[in-house]
Amino acid sequence: MKIPISKSQRGFSLLELMIASAVGLIAVVAMTQLFNMGMNATFTVTQRAETQQNMRAAIELMTKDISMAGAGLPAGGLQLANAGGAARVACNQAGTCYVPGDVYPNSGAGVQNYMYGLLPGFANGVQAAAVITSAPAAVNDSITSIYCDYNFPLFEYNVTFPLAPDGTQINLTVNSAYTANPPPLPTAAGGIQNGDLILINGSNGVAAVGEVTNVTATSLSFANLDPLNMNFSGPTHTNNVYAVSGGTGYAYPPPALTTQGTAYRLFAVTYYLTVPGAGQTPRLMRQVNGLTPVPVADDIINLQVAYDTYNSGVLDANQANPLGVGESPNNIQKINLLVMGQSIINNGNKSQNMYLATDVSARNMAFRNRYQ
């Protein structure tokens, strides 16, 4: 009978166990930190990409509107009716104005209410003058671009005036050149709305702008006391819709071609910032004519605009406030835009703020040959 002999086996000593645990813990911590760094880097890149994409979408829409500034307007701009106070920019039909103190400027002769293709809005770019604390720059600008809308063919109608015109209504009849394929009615989808601005060119060489206060299939009305303060009827005012009619009570249909004219819808597009309530971040807004504004991009915290102007043949570059230094908007050749966006998550060290800048040529404004 053999007796089994047991052999002793050595285990880990306490010191070895502690060293192994420490090495393993270091490896786990290192892997966790690497994973966390990778996640943070991915998050940062994603935040920056989303912020940049948001700003780029805003810049592209602004570029489209600004590049059209002055299209279809008389050369050098247009004197608006000026006997009833300042005509307003960026107000809706309820009378709410979104840009503080933004009215049509004076002409070179000091007469108020002159419509240029571009209206610079230095330091008045935040609704209700709210403070955007997250923006590094204290100045926020607005900008208004004005141009004719050729998408809705209002110009395919003849403009005539009712018996004894006072400038509160025009009648629309399809031009004979378009009767075979008539344009859509003014009341159609995408047509004229209350608050739209209408440029009326009379065959007597007079042009005027009115704000629509009522639309039918065959007429547009321009009642006084409109929200944008454009409409002033009767012969006691100048540069109004009444002046286009000639003021002699033309009958309808007109007895002579001199009573006819054409009309175009104008787009007066204003870009500005607003700070919504309930802790929401600032956003860029686009407001057209006398209509309700729509948001363009969220998390935009700074908008700055500067202008390159040619004054008596001399280039004045990056003028932040051309009106304030006596420059005419007709001299603007290039618009320099700078937009600052903020990431969606804006607390702690995960906040991302970025600038995006571009410049836009004012191709429909006054021309200067820079190569001479």
Answer whether residue 198 shows pLDDT above 70. yes
From residue 164, alpha-carbon distances to 49, 171, 242, 247, 358 in Å are 61, 13, 10, 8, 51
pLDDT band of residue 251 (cuts 50, 70, 90) is: very low
User: In the prediction, which pLDDT does 237 show?
Assistant: 83
User: In the prediction, which pLDDT does 252 show?
Assistant: 40
Answer whether residue 146 shows pLDDT above 90. yes
User: In the prediction, which pLDDT does 313 show?
Assistant: 74
User: In the prediction, which pLDDT does 2 show?
Assistant: 66
Does residue 73 contact residue 267 with C-beta atoms inside 8 Å? no
Answer whether residue 155 shows pLDDT above 80. yes
Mean pLDDT of 187-210: 91
Q: Tell me the pLDDT tens digit for each residue of 8-39.
A: 666 667 777 788 888 888 888 888 888 777 77
Distance CA 18, CA 16 (A): 5
User: In the prediction, which pLDDT does 10 show?
Assistant: 65
Q: Tell me the pLDDT tens digit for each residue of 347-367.
A: 555 677 888 999 998 888 765
From residue 255, alpha-carbon distances to 158, 200, 248, 258 in Å are 14, 19, 12, 9
For CA atoms 179, 183, 187, 193, the dihedral sign is: negative
Q: Tell me the pLDDT tens digit for each residue of 113-139.
A: 999 999 999 999 999 988 887 777 678
Phi/psi for 145 (5° steps) reads -110, 130
Q: Tell me the pLDDT tens digit for each residue of 320-334.
A: 999 988 888 988 989
Does residue 210 contact residue 237 with C-beta atoms inside 8 Å? no
Distance CA 342, CA 174 (A): 50
Phi/psi for 107 (5° steps) reads -85, 180
Average pLDDT, the chain: 84
Distance CA 186, CA 268 (A): 19
DSSP 8-state code for residue 38: H
Instruction: Out of 164-168, 222-226, 293-297, 358-362, pick the least confident.
Output: 164-168
Answer whether residue 145 shows pLDDT above 90. yes
User: In the prediction, which pLDDT does 259 show?
Assistant: 47
User: In the prediction, which pLDDT does 61 show?
Assistant: 94
For residue 152, the SS3 value is coil
Phi/psi for 28 (5° steps) reads -65, -45
Does residue 316 contact residue 284 with C-beta atoms inside 8 Å? no
Distance CA 168, CA 305 (A): 37
Tokens of 72: 């279809």
Answer whether residue 46 shows pLDDT above 60. yes
Mean pLDDT of 47-73: 88
DSSP symbols for 276-313: -STTPPPEEEEEETTS--EEEEESEEEEEEEEEEEETT
User: In the prediction, which pLDDT does 41 show?
Assistant: 66
Name the residue among 131, 44, 90, 34 with its Cα closest to residue 352: 44
Phi/psi for 261 (5° steps) reads -160, -175
